[in-house]
Amino acid sequence: MLLICVRVSNFPSRYNQPEPLHDQPENPMTLPDFLTRDGAGDIRLTGHRIGLYHVVHYYNEGYSAEMLAGQFPSLPLALIHKTIAFYLENRGEVDAYMAACREELNRQRDANPNRLPLASLRQRMEQLQQAKGP
């Protein structure tokens, strides 16, 4: 199962910057060169669209570094090991970041109570495929 995080944000016309995904702590954690915080507050593996959230989420689900390399084939195994080591050395701060991400994801889900259930989406896809024919 692939975890996909989608940000639903408004873009203030005056600044044309996305709203932060979560509140920034007063003393944000110091990031090594292989991790980068973007303008919205997300921490990503430098040079990749994959976030620290994703790597740590799967690691905590029991994925090994090798399994993570299979999940994210664009990430070198050495980078995955460095990311896991960073997590283990900064567990408290990273866990707080993870909790803030989960809170924001839950807030976004709660803000959209009329989202379509998966069964409904599958039914619509089948109808579209049948309408196109063979």
Q: What pLDDT does 38 receive?
A: 92
CA 100 vs CA 35, 65, 108: distances in Å: 18, 24, 12
Q: What pLDDT does 27 receive?
A: 53
Burial label, 88 (beta-carbon count in 10 A; 0-12, 13-18, 19+):
exposed
Q: What pLDDT does 7 receive?
A: 47
Q: What pLDDT does 75 receive?
A: 97
Report how far residue 67's alpha carbon sits from residue 110's, in angstroms, rounded to the nearest whole number: 32
Q: What pLDDT does 40 receive?
A: 87
| Domain 35-112 belongs in CATH node 1.10.10.10 | yes
Q: Token pair for residue 100? A: 């803030």
Residue located via tokens 């979560």:
22
Residues 6+ apart with CB under 8 A from 23: 100
Q: What pLDDT does 121 receive?
A: 86
Cβ atoms of residues 44 and 38 within 8 Å: yes
Digit-by-digit pLDDT tens for the chain (134 residues) are: 444 444 444 333 333 344 444 455 555 789 999 999 998 889 999 999 999 999 999 999 999 999 999 999 999 999 999 999 999 999 999 999 999 999 998 998 888 877 778 888 899 899 999 988 76
